[in-house]
Amino acid sequence: MAFQKAFGCIVLVAVLIVPVSAIDLSWEYQIIDQHANQSRAVSLAMRTSSVWPVAFHQGSNDNSNQMVVSALSPVGWTQQGLGDLFDAFEGGLPLAEAGPDGRVGVVWRTGADARFAQSSPSGWQVASLPLAAPSGPDFTVDFDFLSDNRPIVAQAAQEGIVVSVYNGIGWETDQVVREFDEPVQGMKVSTAISSQDEIGVAFVENGLGFAFKSPLSGDWGTTIVDQQIFPESISLAFGPNDETAIASVENDSLYVSRFDPVTGDWATELLAPQIDSNRVNLVYNSLGQPALAYVVQDEVHYRINRGEGWLDFILDDDPQIQVQPHDSSDAALAFDAEDIPVISYYSQDGLLLAYDPIIVPEPASIVLFLMVTVAAVRRQG
């Protein structure tokens, strides 16, 4: 009897010792910018080996026409303007990524050009590149970093998709995809870099398409992902082992299209029939699990697929901060160095950061539990 009780206690201790799943724990909230309560667009990246969160968003008050970067450091959240912002919606939306060496970058559109900014030891560096012509306010830009930390910027234009690579001196431009048969309005584009530095581009033309540059021939090949959807927003991501997926928002419905290497086909599934965020960013964690976040009414949803379907977690309340999101707010998602999700979005209290930390039981509590267990067993004996 004493042994059975001791065994039961030992099992319980083992459960305590095993780190509890981060997904099941409550979220920590911080206010990034309490004045930023009118905008909706935000993009998030993790700086310096995925440790320090950096949010890119529209400025507030006198800086409302500026792209602003808010970065967390031991002195708190510091802000800096990066340049003019064309519009908080559509083409002017910021899109951020983290580079292999720990830098973070962002791309957005102004009225006259596309802007790229990145962190560096000498501060924020901002560069301009011309818009692919002819363009319009609804044509988007996106970027990613190569393994040598050079940025790749993809732009949509009426004549097709254009990809520009920074060579250290200037931008080299490559025409992706054929010229469109008819002028299109509001072309959307998303780009990502594979583990082998290959460029992938997702775009919308006659449905959802995917383009990939052959490392052997140097030619761009395109494939139809789904002819049934015509998304207003798309997000392409590669996993650590080149898993490939595209998240799309069409008429407020959220879809995820994933390439199955076994069948050689793309498969699209409806993830959420009605969301309020105008766009999402799809990311993979280091385990190759795709994830994204979005707003539905007054809830922020965090979705992740660990291999057995998409899980759905709703961010919980906080006693001190109004965490209910603004209608149509972005919910920008990033993972930290330990695959913990970090989400930035807008609420009535401003621009927020939600962090889901790991909690490891303190050694003292385990020792105390063991002592109590031993005492209980001895008493029974």
Partner 1 sequence: MVVLFLTVGVLTPFALAQQVGIRVIAEGASELSELDLGIDVNGIPQVAYWTADNELMLASVECRTAVLRELYAQGGRYASLAPGTDASTSVVFSGFDQASGLAYAMSGGLLDQPAWAPLGFAGDWPVLALDSTGRPYVVYVDHDGGMLKFARFDIPTGKWVVEIVPGPFVEFVGTRRVATVAVDVDDRPVVAYFGGHRNSAHKIIVATRTNQGWTIRTKDLENEGGVSPENGLSLAFDTTNAPHVVYQTAPGDLKLARFGVFGVSLQTVREQQGSPVRLGPRAMHIGAGGRIRVAYFDIGAGVVMLADNLGGWTNEIVDGVTGFNDLRPALAVDATGRWAVAYLSDSEGIIEVKVAGPAVLGTLDGDCNCDNVVDLVDFVELESCLTGPAVSIMEGCECFDINGSTTVDLADVKLLQAAFGDW
Query: CA-CA distance, 317 to 312, in Å (whole number)?
Result: 16
Q: Does 28 bind partner 1 (CB under 8 A)?
A: yes
Of 73-81, 163-171, 195-203, 242-250, the segment contacting partner 1 by CB under 8 A is 73-81
By CB under 8 A, the residues from 249 to 268 that bind partner 1 are: none
Instruction: Say whether residue 175 binds partner 1 (CB under 8 A).
Output: no
Query: Looking at 78, 206, 227, 380, which residue binds partner 1 (CB under 8 A)?
Result: 78
Can residue 298 be called a binding residue for partner 1 (CB under 8 A)?
Answer: no
- Asked whether the beta carbons of 129 and 76 are under 8 A apart, the reply is no
Could you say which of 360, 368, 371, 374 contacts partner 1 (CB under 8 A)? 360
Residue type, 196: Q
Q: Which is nearer to partner 1, 246 or 353 (CB)?
A: 353
Asked if 307 touches partner 1 (CB under 8 A), the answer is no
Output the smallest distance, CB 98 to partner 1, in A. Answer: 13
Tell me the C-alpha distance between 293 and 296, whole Å.
Answer: 10
Look-up of token digits 């603004």: 326
Decide if residue 48 touches partner 1 (CB under 8 A): yes
Cα 113 to Cα 129: distance, rounded to the nearest angstrom: 6
CB of 175 to partner 1, least distance (A): 35
Cα 81 from Cα 68, distance rounded (Å): 4
CA dihedral 31, 33, 36, 42 (to 10 degrees): -80
> Residues 30, 63, 175, 322: which binds partner 1 (CB under 8 A)?
30
Residue 168 touching partner 1 (CB under 8 A): no
44 vs 32, 76, 207, 283, 333, CA distance in Å? 12, 17, 28, 11, 6
- Identified binder of partner 1 from the candidate list 14, 75, 169, 216, rule CB under 8 A: 75
Q: Which of 218, 264, 363, 381 binds partner 1 (CB under 8 A)?
A: 363
Closest distance of CB 116 from partner 1, Å: 16
For partner 1, the closer of residues 77 and 238 by Cβ is 77
Q: Using CA atoms, how far apart are residues 96 and 281, in angstroms rounded to an integer?
A: 10
Work out whether 288 is an interface residue with partner 1 (CB under 8 A): no
Per CB under 8 A, does 319 bind partner 1? no
Nearest residue (CB) to partner 1, 76 versus 307: 76
Write out the binding residues for partner 1, residues 86-145 only, by CB under 8 A.
102, 119, 121-124
Residue 216 in the binding site for partner 1 (CB under 8 A): no
CB of 377 to partner 1, least distance (A): 25
Mutual angle of helices 363-380 and 2-17, in 10-degree steps: 170
DSSP 331-373: EEEEE-TTS-EEEEEEETTEEEEEE----PPPHHHHHHHHHHH
Q: Which of 74, 168, 309, 381 binds partner 1 (CB under 8 A)?
A: 74
- Examine residue 52 and tell whether it contacts partner 1 (CB under 8 A): yes
307 φ/ψ angles, rounded to the nearest 5 degrees: 110, -10
Position 335 contacts partner 1 (CB under 8 A): no
Phi then psi for residue 369, to 5 deg, are -65, -40
- What residues between 338 and 357 interact with partner 1 by CB under 8 A? 340, 353, 355-357
Category of 186 on φ-ψ map: left (φ > 0), alpha (ψ -120 to 50) or beta: left
How far from 339 is each of 205, 294, 336, CA to CA, in Å? 34, 19, 5
* Residue 338 · residue 350 · CB < 8 Å: no
Structure-block tokens of residue 337: 């160095």
- The site that binds partner 1 (CB under 8 A) totals a number of residues, namely 34
Rg of the chain (C-alpha set): 23
Considering the rule CB under 8 A, would residue 21 count as an interface residue with partner 1?
Answer: no
Q: In the complex with partner 1, which residue's Cβ is closer, 267 or 360? A: 360
> Scanning residues 217 to 236, which ones bind partner 1 (CB under 8 A)?
none
List residues binding partner 1 (CB under 8 A): 28, 30, 47-49, 51-53, 71-78, 80, 102, 119, 121-124, 336-337, 340, 353, 355-357, 360, 362-364
